[in-house]
A = this chain, B = another copy of it.
Amino acid sequence: MTREDGRTPDQLRPITITRNWLDHAQGSCLVEFGRTRVLCAASASEGVPRWRKGSGLGWVTAEYAMLPQATHERSPRESVKGKVGGRTHEISRLVGRSLRAVIDYGALGENTIALDCDVLQADGGTRTAAITGAYVALADAVAHLGRAGALTGDALTGSVAAVSVGIIDGTPMLDLPYVEDVRAETDMNVVMTGDGRFVEVQGTAEGAPFDKGELDALLELAGKGCADLTALQREALAR
């Protein structure tokens, strides 16, 4: 079974992580999963949102968005429409939750890290690329705070990476580009820590409902993909 782009079912697309793509943000990278291209930036600032003031705890928040010409057909700008769409909201919340899973709020102290994941080009898997890239930007922003003496301990308790998996014509496949994504019967996004545990599992029956066996096969594939991504993140951060 070969795929349109020549990959085996359990193979990632070519992954590139270009660190420090921006000059102003405390951490940033341009992450590429094949033709999917997401600019991830992390800005660290003193203080926390009002509801958290005086707690001694930090906060991490995330916003995901897509440029109008990232997609095949130009899509209207959310700023011009005057509201954030449901899909954008949903993914922003997912990115935020995923990254917060590896943050020690106490060690972070009353500082906030804002993650921005802007999709410059979309070809499937934008939310998982965003999470994978955001981790790299986050790690750099945390390191920046550490060098500035703003932390009281190790604020990063682990690493986090994400990948999409799906069943196409009965075969579980890793890291779906757009052409595969629209054909998938079941679609799953899996966020995992560097030590192989789950942070988020979001499986959706796009066509027919799926059973436990299919779920298990997808999770195993995702486990392999996240392990590969974890190695690439580590490499990028070591440079």
A residues lining the B interface (CB < 8 Å) = 22-25, 28, 35, 39, 41, 43, 45, 63, 65, 67-72, 74, 77-90, 92-93, 97, 101, 114, 116, 118, 120-121, 123, 158, 188, 192-193, 196-205, 208-212, 215, 219
Which of chain B's residues has its CB closest to A68's CB?
B116
| A24/B210 contact (C-beta < 8 A), A82-B82, A84-B80 known | no
Q: Is A203 touching B211 in the complex (CB atoms < 8 A)?
A: no
B residues near A209, Cβ cutoff 8 Å: 101, 158, 192-193, 197-199
Q: Which residue of B lies closest to A220 (CB)?
A: B212
Residue numbers in B under 8 Å from A92 (CB-CB) = 86
Q: A67-B118, A86-B92, A158-B209 are in contact. List 15 more A-B contacts (CB 8 A).
A: A24-B71, A28-B69, A43-B69, A63-B80, A77-B116, A79-B84, A80-B84, A82-B83, A90-B93, A97-B204, A101-B205, A101-B209, A120-B120, A188-B201, A201-B202
- The A contact surface, by secondary structure, is mixed
Number of copies: 6
CB<8 Å pairs between A and B, sample of 17: A22-B121, A24-B69, A39-B67, A41-B67, A43-B74, A63-B77, A68-B114, A74-B116, A77-B79, A78-B79, A86-B92, A89-B90, A90-B93, A197-B209, A198-B211, A199-B205, A202-B203
Asked if A215 meets B193 with Cβ closer than 8 Å, knowing A77-B63, A80-B84, A118-B67, the reply is no
